[in-house]
Amino acid sequence: MTSHTPAQISRRTAVTAVAATAALLPLATGPAARAAGTGAPAFLHGVASGDPLPDGVLLWTRVTPVPDAVPGSGRGPATEVTWEVAEDEAFGKVVARGTATATAATDHTVKADVRGLHPATGYWYRFTAGGTHSPAARTRTTPAHDAPADGLRLGVVSCANWESGWFSAYRHLAARRDLDAVLHLGDYLYEYGTGVYPAAKYVVRPHRPAHEIVTLADYRTRHGHYKTDADLQALHHTHPVIAIWDDHEFADNAWSGGAGNHTPGTEGDWATRMAAAKRAYFEWMPVRPSVEGTTYRRLRFGKLADLHLMDLRSFRSQQAKPGSGAVDDPDRTLTGRAQLDWLKAGLTSSDTTWRLVGNSVMMSPVAFGALPAALLEPLAKLLGMPAGGLAVNTDQWDGYTHDRTELIGHLTDHAVRNTVFLTGDIHMAWANDVPRKAATYPLSGSAATEFVVTSVTADNLDETLRVLPHTVSLAAAGTIKTANRHVKWVDMDSHGFGVLDVTPERAQMDYYVLSDKRDPGATASWSRSYRTLSGTQRVERVRTPVR
């Protein structure tokens, strides 16, 4: 695996990050920009790699063949694109090469599923069209299937709303050279029209298109807009990205038959909209679907860890109305029968030390004690529970208790150990034990652990209340921990990212926070660290980040 360097991110490192971004993005003055100005093919949306394997990796780019062939336009001629993978940045030792054709049918995006590479090896790659080279970027393969890997380090992010701020978290992750990959847990983009979330007076930079995205052309345009962000491009140019979707890649609180933010009468048929969103996602993301139309799949990092990646939107039943008792209905599902069986079988049969689960919505139960109305309402909005205060989060595993009970029972009955859920979605950072029975925890013990990362930019509690961070939220955090003894820590007010470091002895999450999401030059600093030791099924605080 990669050699690991100190994880503390200081102001000096922030300057390095800016320099790294500039070095990795020769678009403003480089060949891609000059090509765009002359009408030659251009790579205006960067390049990316994802879903690394021991012998390969998935490469991605989008070529603009002529200036008016913008994302979602359906315009532009078919264009031949060459891809190369090399051992060196100068491409003097090319080890794989191929061609593909970019057409309007796929919005001029290109994917190359490259094989025949060496395990646990870093490579450089690039694309060429019409004599124009894309930026050269780095990627890395995973260890051999049976290799006794001694370490794995992943950047972990979620919930990046363009209108809410700048993607500085991506810049800081791009500056690191100690990561094997970056795990994106969903809400890579947001579907809203401009000025809806957040309100217009809080918008840092407007979306394109300005209206809510509904059609295939809309989703393609929004994906293309996000991939013009320099920090996002730098992230993709530096590390392979392993991504799953959550709801905003479609619409808020999406489920198999609709969404909270979908109105059939004015926004068309849900199945058509979801199909359009999925098509655009697979066109624009370096994701290799293992089951057609879904993102659930499994990656392996030698004998150290399996990573089980979930799709918790395609198969789920509609969110229950809290208080109806439907959350316990065995006929309702979050995962779908096939996916839950796949996950259970994979966790049981795994021969790795650790079983990681990329999980877009929180697994751990959350109950509430007495909270003042001023705190309850914004928390209800963030956690997907009713403003009346019933202790149910119906968009997450709390709203589908039968699936959760079955999965936790499976872990317990089969003595499956070292399962760690990696979660995004709720714009807060948490460190949790996953209790076998929440009502009797800690006497009944825990079946797994969970690390939840906060949002890159999407609004959290202090922004919902429009108050200073870490003021009124302290009362809410204390109440949550009192009512939920399996919750070891929660931060409701920060933005940032996590770095998960896994060894045979422990899995540790280091939490980093940004100085100001509205500042494009925001710095990042270490906040907290929690770990779970092999065989313990519980989290504990660590006083320093991994070095």
What would the 3-class secondary structure string for 429-442 be?
EEEEEEECCHHHCC
Q: What CA–CA distance (Å, rounded) separates 135 from 388? A: 52
526 phi, psi to nearest 5 deg: -70, 140
Closest CA to 142 of 71, 66, 51, 78: 51
* The two three-digit tokens of residue 459, written as one number: 């609004």
Q: How many beta carbons lie within 10 A of that of residue 235, not counting itself?
A: 28
Q: Round to whole Å and give the CA distance between 466 and 488.
A: 26
Residue 41 lies in a domain: no
Tokens 């500085």 sit at which residue?
168
Q: Which range marks the domain in which residue 194 is found?
A: 11-25+135-542
What is the spatial distance between Cα 150 and Cα 455, in angstroms, rounded to a whole number? 30
Q: Determine, yes or no, domain membership for 527.
A: yes
Structural domain includes residue 66: no
Average pLDDT, the chain: 91
Q: For the stretch 514-525, what's the b/e string if a residue is b when 16 or more beta carbons lie within 10 angstroms of its beta carbon?
A: bbebbebebbbb
- The reply to whether 165 falls in a domain is yes
Average pLDDT over residues 214-229: 98
pLDDT digits (tens, 9 = 90+) for 104-117: 999 999 999 999 99
Residue 16 is assigned to a structural domain of this protein: yes
Structural tokens at position 446: 């825990």
- With beta carbons less than 8 A apart as the criterion, state whether 223 and 278 touch: no
Place of tokens 């809806």: 196
Model confidence pLDDT, tens digit, residues 161-210? 999 999 999 999 999 999 999 999 999 999 999 999 999 999 999 999 99
Residue with tokens 């609709």: 258
Q: How confident is the model at residue 17 (pLDDT cuts 50, 70, 90)?
A: very low
220 in Cβ contact with 72 (< 8 Å): yes
Residue from 423, 407, 284, 416 nearest 357 by CA: 423
pLDDT value at position 149? Answer: 86
Quote the CA–CA distance of 157 and 428 in Å, as a whole number: 11
Peptide bond into 442 cis (omega under 30): yes
Torsion over CA: 245, 248, 239, 13 (sign): negative
- Split into its structural domains, the chain has a count of 1
Would residue 309 count as lying in a domain?
yes
- What residues pair up with 94 in beta bridges, in sequence order? 86
Question: What's the whole-number mean pLDDT along residues 300-323?
Answer: 94
Q: How far apart are CA 274 and CA 251, in angstroms?
A: 9
Distance CA 284, CA 108 (A): 10
Establish if 118 belongs to a structural domain.
no
pLDDT higher than threshold 70 for residue 42? yes
Give the tens place of pLDDT for each residue, 286-307.
Answer: 999 777 789 999 999 999 999 9
d(CA 110, CA 63): 8
Separation between Cα atoms, residue 116 and residue 55, nearest integer Å: 5
pLDDT in tens, 233-278: 999 999 999 999 999 999 999 999 999 999 998 999 999 999 999 9
- Across the range 48-77, mean pLDDT stands at 98
pLDDT band (50, 70, 90) for residue 5: very low
- Domain contains 46: no
Asked if 256 contacts 316 with a C-beta cutoff of 8 angstroms, the reply is: yes
For 60, 98, 501, the CA distances from 41, given in Å and listed in that order, are 16, 18, 40
Q: Give the C-alpha separation, 473 to 467, whole Å.
A: 10
Which helix H or strand E contains 488, and what residues bound it? Answer: strand 487-491
Determine what percent of the chain is predicted with pLDDT higher than 90: 80
CATH number at residue 276: 3.60.21.70
CA distance 107 to 132: 19
Residue 547 binned pLDDT confidence (cut-offs 50, 70, 90): confident
Position 6 pLDDT exceeds 90: no
CA distance 53 to 118: 10
CA gap 23, 43 in Å, rounded: 16
Average of pLDDT values for 401-408? Answer: 96
Look at the block and give the residue holding tokens 């290109």: 110
Handedness of CA 242, 244, 248, 253 (dihedral sign): negative
Residue keyed to tokens 């048929």: 269
